Structure formats: structure tokens, C-alpha cells
Amino acid sequence: MFVTRATRHDAADIADLLAAHDWPVEEASSGTFFLAREGAAVGCVRLWEVAPQTVVVRDVMVASERRREGIGARLMQTAMNSRGGTLYLRCGAQEAPFFERLGFASVRAADLPEAVVAHFDAHGPGSDATTMRAR
């Protein structure tokens, strides 16, 4: 499997992967994507820099038939190693252990930078999700 930063040539494959799993594709041209390929696209991660040295992790997606193979962890590690600054994300309680294994920890909303709060307010998920920061 090949994991790398996506280029403009990968945009259609990313959109197809997201659409095949009922994820919104209307904003697929925003942010920086990382892509896992094994012939076809099998997973992707999107990062949005919301302020200098402040990055939000979005759209961590692995094809349903390829989950639990370590693809998501490889994607996240590649994305995390490529960027400086602090990474933030929101996820459901069931996904939190995955991100904790990658070095994320829960963070209180009051401790979030204003740019991260504004991004979450504009792009969801809702405030009932777990908010995490890379340690």
C-alpha cells in the first residue's frame, strides 16, 4: 500500500471514495488530503490549517471493506508527520480510542484556540462530539 499527500490528480479518486461511503464531497477541494492507495483509493485524511501552526483533522475515512487493517493509522501518522503545529479534531466517543492510540487527548472547549472553535462551528460535528488535541 502507498500512502502519500494527494495531488490535484487524485481529486476524482478522493471524491469517489467519499461518495461511495455517503460522505459529503462538496468541499473535497478544500484542505490538504493524504491518500492511501492499493491500486484504487482505500482511505484518506484531510487536514485544514485554520491558523498558523493550528491544524484541524477532518474526514478520516477508510473504505468499509478495508477497515481494521491499520490503514487509518498509517494515514494519520503520515499526515501528522507532514505538518508542524498542533492538531485538533472532533470525533464520536467510539472513535476516541483510535485517536488516543495516536497520541491525542481530550481537551476542554474552553482550551481551544478561537480559530479551531470557529472551524468546528462552521463545519461540525456538533458540540456533543469528543474534542481532542495531539499531545
The conformational region for residue 29 under phi > 0 = left, psi -120 to 50 = alpha, else beta, is alpha
The alpha helices in 1-135, defined as continuous H runs, are: 11-20, 71-82, 96-101, 114-123
CATH topology of domain 2-134: Aminopeptidase (3.40.630)
HSE value, Cβ hemisphere, 13 Å, CA-based, for 132: 22
User: For the chain, what are the domain ranges?
Assistant: 2-134
Please, what are the averages of pLDDT over each run of 10 residues along the chain (135 residues)?
Answer: 91 89 74 92 93 92 92 95 90 92 93 93 72 85
pLDDT value, residue 126: 58
pLDDT value, residue 74: 96
For residues 54 and 47, the answer to whether their CB atoms sit within 8 Å is: no
